[in-house]
Amino acid sequence: MNAIELPLASRPKVGVGVLLIDKRGRILLTLRKRPPEAGCWSIVGGKLDFFEPLEKCAVREALEEVGVEIAIERLLCVTDHCLPEEGQHWVAPAYLGRILSGKASNREPDKTRAVRWFRAGQLPANLTMTARNAIAAYQRLSAALSSAVSGAYPG
């Protein structure tokens, strides 16, 4: 059976994201100017370059987009990001990252309207699909770790 050849514009793309949380538990989000999901708040991230490892992409995008150097802690989730109304299909791995240095600011004003820290309980309603999935995965991970710790040391 022969594979179906699709035009390049019809093929899924890879966008790598990184969830950054500061020491106060706030989440860093960027307000997108461009599709996919223009006008929505997203985690830091961007398009994977050819032959670029996923984690290196996340590190590069954090530096380019918001000016922070990061370390990758772990993979949180992978989103099958299908937006037929926008003609977009992305496969989007999202990592948990830790800021090593720098102060987050908008380094790509042509792509991003704003960069802002949000408290976990005060997130904007207009989150991108990848941001919602990464935050939910982080919350599940935090709950599981908290549960494991409290279970290990009964009070």
Would you tell me how many other CB atoms lie within 10 Å of the CB of residue 16?
Answer: 28
pTM above 0.85, yes or no: yes
Cβ neighbors of 53 (< 8 A, separation 6 or more) are none
Distance CA 77, CA 93 (A): 6
User: Rounded to 5 degrees, what are φ and ψ at 63?
Assistant: -70, -45
Residue 148 pLDDT = 76
Quote the pLDDT of residue 150. Answer: 66
Say how many residues make up the chain.
155
Fold type of domain 12-149: Nucleoside Triphosphate Pyrophosphohydrolase (3.90.79)
Distance CA 60, CA 27 (A): 19
Contact between 86 and 35 under an 8 Å Cβ cutoff? The reply is yes
Q: What is the model's pLDDT at position 1?
A: 44
- 84, containing H or E segment: none
Q: What ranges in the chain are assigned the alpha helix state H?
A: 54-66, 129-152
User: In this predicted model, what pLDDT tens digit does every residue of 14-34 receive, in sequence order?
Assistant: 999 999 999 999 999 999 999
Instruction: Inform me whether the pLDDT recorded for 86 exceeds 50.
Output: yes
d(CA 10, CA 132) in angstroms, rounded, equals 25
The domains of the chain are located at 12-149
